[in-house]
């Protein structure tokens, strides 16, 4: 009896979480154009998606942006996490506090703040402003992920390294980074996915020259959900799942 | 005279207002097995960290091979540490762990292969060279940690509670191996432990610490037989104490009042004034217990009743309540010749010791 309840409960939660996505995936194969009724199986929407060079270019833009932003955020975030855990410096407490403020602050606030900054600096809105913004909101997530891993490391390991003659840099290079890399990778993936689906901040800081996928989808949806969008979202969902599974596998192997 | 490898002079370490070490003076000789012994929080591990360079002294001077190293970082010191948690690098093979030090020093790879092989043969784990640390048992990890340290031929090897994570049997075995290794390598070992038995059986000299102050430095025999004060006597071995009052002393010995009796001992070292208090320390195994007062050959004895008998195989422990109400513990060898245990609970006995086997300590 208990077993049955447990299974039912679990199924209910999974259904609650994934039902919308499953419906979306199903409709991406629906041959009816506007209706929410099932009118038969088709791959037309995927075909028309493939033909739309415009959408493909925008998808590429998004991947490029996410890749660069995640890499930037990971480099800065990892360095910051190591500094926060390993060294004493002026303003360390303040920095930790601000980090969490940044994590919690509403995207609208971030978006407007960045926009004001770029305008004040007379920067043209486009690729660079997007990249800088995405790096900015990615950093705290990387820091938090990497700091968690550092906290779980045996402090004696770094002492052992310097005891055996390693300089500060050698300790970082040969001991700390190799041990942190699963967390660094997780942080990168987190920053990557955050960048891939950000609408709000990007809305404020993007320009007409560099379009990205989330914004395009958003503007397309305002005119009604087209079945191509269902297909596109399905592809994005499957890609995300693939990334998550590979990263889990990589991190899992390490531990 | 033997060479001094490490010396601490007036070393003090404070964390804020909290004082961990208070003016420690210590000289460590080349090639000796020195043990820092004391209860947790006594500052023994702090001394280790100061010598290794993980911590810097608040004041005082630390010298390593003659040069002052107060603020020198660990990587510059010809000292290596075996950590309590072993601290093997989990992302490297055993070979790479042991090769870590030589590689940093730029030793050619051919030479490294040979050195690592030798080091692993020394700890008898050459067959595990390709494994990862988490595939090894605690005892094996311990030995790898030692190999990883000694391959660098340090002037001093520091061992921080290195055996305490091992089970009893393995610990005994490692004690013998460590001692053997130390003789074979001729490296100075500084060993930190809270286990007095370990300290007594392995060390050339023991430094007994309490609350950041060195209480006594001496060979295991000196520490056990002639504890410098009550702290040492209480920490090392089992001890039975008698409260005593000094009546008089001369060149022939000392007259004391204890357990309601006046006794005379031939001790002439104690200079306590008449009227001052002393504690007489006698090791339980040095106490003689007789059933009849006629068997007592000493000039004094105290009468009491057996309260508990603890059978421990080769010996028996007797808890005896003396007439004064003071309960003492005496260890007697089990008499193999007689079938009976020889003692019964509630039995009247007489307790004494051979004059001169006691230690007189000032009552702090």
Question: Chain A residues with CB inside 8 Å of B149's CB?
Answer: 163-164
ipTM for the complex?
A: 0.78
Q: Is A167 on the interface with B (CB under 8 A)?
A: yes
Cβ–Cβ below 8 Å for A159 and B87: yes
Q: Tell me whether A109 touches chain B (CB under 8 Å).
A: no
Judged by a CB distance cut-off of 8 A, whether residue B101 touches chain A is yes
Region of residue B319 (left: phi > 0; alpha: psi -120 to 50; beta: else): beta
In whole angstroms, give the CA distance from residue B197 to residue B28.
Answer: 21
B352 to chain A, any CB pair closer than 8 A? The answer is no
State chain A's mean pLDDT as an integer.
88
A212 CA to chain B: closest CA distance, Å? 40
What residue ranges define each of the domains in chain A, with the CATH number in brackets? 52-254 (1.10.3720.10)
End-to-end CA distance of chain B: 36
Sequence-distant (6+) residues with CB within 8 A of B115 are: B99, B102, B107, B151
Q: What is the mean pLDDT of chain B?
A: 89
- Residues facing B4 on adjacent strands: B29
**Cβ–Cβ of B85/A159 closer than 8 Å?**
no
* A159 near B CB under 8 A: yes
Q: pLDDT tens digits, residue range A221-247?
A: 887 777 888 888 898 889 888 887 887
Closest CA–CA distance from residue A156 to any residue of chain B (Å):
6
**Chain B residues whose beta carbon lies within 8 Å of the beta carbon of residue A154:** 85, 87
- Please tell me if residue B73 touches chain A, with a CB cutoff of 8 Å: yes
DSSP B345: T
Residue B175's CB: how many other CB atoms inside 10 A?
A: 18
Q: How confident is the model at residue B27 (pLDDT cuts 50, 70, 90)?
A: very high
What CA–CA distance (Å, rounded) separates B257 from B275? 10
Selected from 3.40.30.10, 3.40.50.720, 2.40.50.140, 2.60.40.740, the CATH number assigned to the domain covering B240-362 reads: 2.40.50.140
Of the pLDDT bands very low, low, confident and very high (cuts 50, 70, 90), residue A31 is confident
Q: How far is CA A254 from CA A244, B90, B91, B99, B283, in A?
A: 16, 10, 8, 22, 55
Model confidence over A3-13: pLDDT tens digits? 899 999 999 99
Distance between CA A130 and CA A64 in Å, rounded?
A: 11
Identity of the residue in B75, B88, B91 whose CB atom sits nearest the CB atom of A165: B75
Residue B116 DSSP symbol: H
Q: What is the pLDDT of residues B101-133, one digit of tens each?
A: 999 999 999 999 999 999 999 888 999 999 999
pLDDT tens for B216-242 read 999 999 999 889 888 898 888 888 899
CATH of B4-235, one of 3.10.110.10, 1.10.10.10, 3.40.50.300, 3.30.230.80: 3.40.50.300
Q: Label residue A238 exposed, middle or buried (CB < 10 Å: 0-12, 13-18, 19+).
A: exposed
List of chain A residues whose C-beta atoms are within 8 Å of the C-beta of residue B84:
156
pLDDT at A176: 93
Report CB contact under 8 Å: B80, A164.
Answer: yes
Max alpha carbon distance in chain B (Å)? 78
| Chain A from 173 to 202: CB within 8 A of any B CB | 174-175, 178-179
Chain centre distance of CA B135:
33
Q: Is the model's pLDDT at B318 over the cut of 80?
A: yes
Q: Does the structure show a pLDDT above 80 at A192?
A: yes
Q: State the pLDDT confidence band at A114, using cuts at 50, 70 and 90.
A: very high
Strands B156-160 and B59-64: unpaired
Cα–Cα distance for residue pair B354/A209, rounded to 1 Å: 102
The pLDDT value recorded for residue B336 is: 62
Residue B64: how many CB atoms within 10 A of its CB?
20
What is the SS3 string spanning chain A? CHHHHHHHHHHHHHHHHHHHHHHHHHHCCECCCCCCCCCCECCHHHHHHHHCHHHHHHHHHHHHHHHHHHHHHHHHHHHHHHHHHHCCCCCHHHHHHHHHHHHHCCHHHHHHHHHHHHHHCCCCCCHHHHHHHHHHHHHHHHHHHHHHHHHHCCHHHHHHHHHCCCCHHHHHHHHHHHHHHHHHHHHHHHHHHHHHCCCHHHHHHCCCCCCCHHHHHHHHHCCCCCHHHHHHHHHHHHHHHHHHHHHHHHHHHHC
Q: Is A123's pLDDT higher than 60?
A: yes
B15 to chain A, any CB pair closer than 8 A? The answer is no
Cα separation of B69 and B76, whole Å?
A: 9
d(CA B129, CA B76): 28
Q: Is the CB of B100 inside 8 Å of chain A's CB atoms?
A: yes
A253: confidence class by pLDDT, cuts 50, 70, 90? low
Distance from the Cα of B338 to chain A's closest Cα (Å) equals 57
Nearest chain A residue to B81 by CA: give it: A163
Q: Which pair of tokens denotes residue A145?
A: 């992920």
3-state secondary structure of B305: strand
Q: Are B30 and B3 in contact (CB under 8 A)?
A: yes
| B262 — pLDDT class (breaks 50, 70, 90) | confident
């Amino acid at each position: 009896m208990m077993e049955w309840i447990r299974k039912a409960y679990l199924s209910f939660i999974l259904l609650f979480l994934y039902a919308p996505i499953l419906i979306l995936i199903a409709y991406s194969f629906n041959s009816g154009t506007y209706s929410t009724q099932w009118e038969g199986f088709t791959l037309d929407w995927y075909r028309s998606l493939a033909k739309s060079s415009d959408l493909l270019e925008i998808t590429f833009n998004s991947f490029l942006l996410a890749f660069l932003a995640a890499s930037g955020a990971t480099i800065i975030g990892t360095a910051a996490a190591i500094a926060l855990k390993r060294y004493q410096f002026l303003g360390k407490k303040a920095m930790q506090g601000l980090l969490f403020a940044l994590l919690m602050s509403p995207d609208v606030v971030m978006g407007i703040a960045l926009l004001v900054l770029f305008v004040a600096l007379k920067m043209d809105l486009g690729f660079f402003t997007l990249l800088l913004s995405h790096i900015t909101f990615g950093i705290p997530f990387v820091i938090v992920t990497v700091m968690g891993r550092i906290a779980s490391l045996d402090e004696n390991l770094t002492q052992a390294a310097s005891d055996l003659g390693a300089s500060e840099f050698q300790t970082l290079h040969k001991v700390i980074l190799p041990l942190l890399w699963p967390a660094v990778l997780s942080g990168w993936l987190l920053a990557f996915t955050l960048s891939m689906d950000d609408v709000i901040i990007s809305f404020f800081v993007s320009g007409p020259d560099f379009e990205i996928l989330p914004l395009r989808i958003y503007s397309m949806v305002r005119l009604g959900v087209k079945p191509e969008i269902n297909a596109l979202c399905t592809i994005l969902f499957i890609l995300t799942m693939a990334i998550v599974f590979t990263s889990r596998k990589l991190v899992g192997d390490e531990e | 005279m033997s060479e001094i490898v490490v010396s601490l002079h007036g070393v003090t370490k404070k964390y804020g207002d909290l004082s961990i070490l208070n003016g420690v003076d210590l000289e460590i000789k080349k090639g000796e097995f020195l043990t820092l012994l004391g209860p947790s929080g006594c500052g023994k591990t702090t001394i280790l960290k100061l010598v290794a360079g993980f911590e810097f002294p608040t004041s005082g001077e630390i010298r390593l091979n003659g040069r002052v190293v107060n603020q020198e970082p660990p990587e510059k010191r010809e000292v290596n540490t075996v950590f309590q948690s072993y601290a093997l690098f989990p992302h490297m093979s055993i070979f790479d762990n042991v090769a870590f030090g030589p590689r940093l020093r730029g030793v050619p790879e051919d030479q490294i292969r040979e050195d690592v092989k030798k080091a692993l043969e020394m700890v008898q784990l050459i067959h595990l060279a390709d494994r990862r640390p988490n595939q090894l048992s605690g005892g094996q990890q311990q030995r790898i940690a030692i190999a990883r340290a000694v391959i660098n031929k340090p002037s001093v090897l520091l061992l921080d509670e290195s055996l305490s994570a091992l089970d009893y049997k393995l610990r005994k075995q490692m004690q013998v191996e460590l001692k053997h290794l130390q003789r074979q390598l001729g490296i100075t070992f500084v060993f930190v432990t809270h286990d007095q038995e370990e300290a007594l059986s392995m060390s050339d000299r023991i430094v007994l610490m309490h609350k950041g102050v060195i209480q006594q430095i001496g060979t295991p025999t000196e520490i056990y037989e002639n504890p410098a004060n009550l702290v040492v006597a209480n920490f090392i071995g089992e001890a039975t104490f008698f409260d005593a009052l000094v009546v008089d002393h001369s060149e022939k010995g000392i007259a004391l009042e204890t357990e309601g009796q006046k006794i005379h001992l031939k001790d002439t070292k104690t200079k306590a004034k008449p009227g001052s208090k002393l504690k007489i320390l006698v090791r339980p195994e040095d106490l003689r217990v007789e059933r009849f007062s006629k068997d007592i050959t000493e000039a004094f004895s105290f009468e009491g009743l057996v309260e508990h008998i603890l059978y421990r195989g080769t010996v028996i422990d007797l808890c005896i309540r003396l007439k004064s109400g003071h309960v003492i513990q005496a260890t007697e060898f089990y008499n193999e010749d007689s079938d009976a245990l020889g003692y019964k609970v509630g039995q009247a006995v007489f307790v004494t010791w051979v004059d001169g086997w006691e230690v007189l300590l000032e009552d702090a």
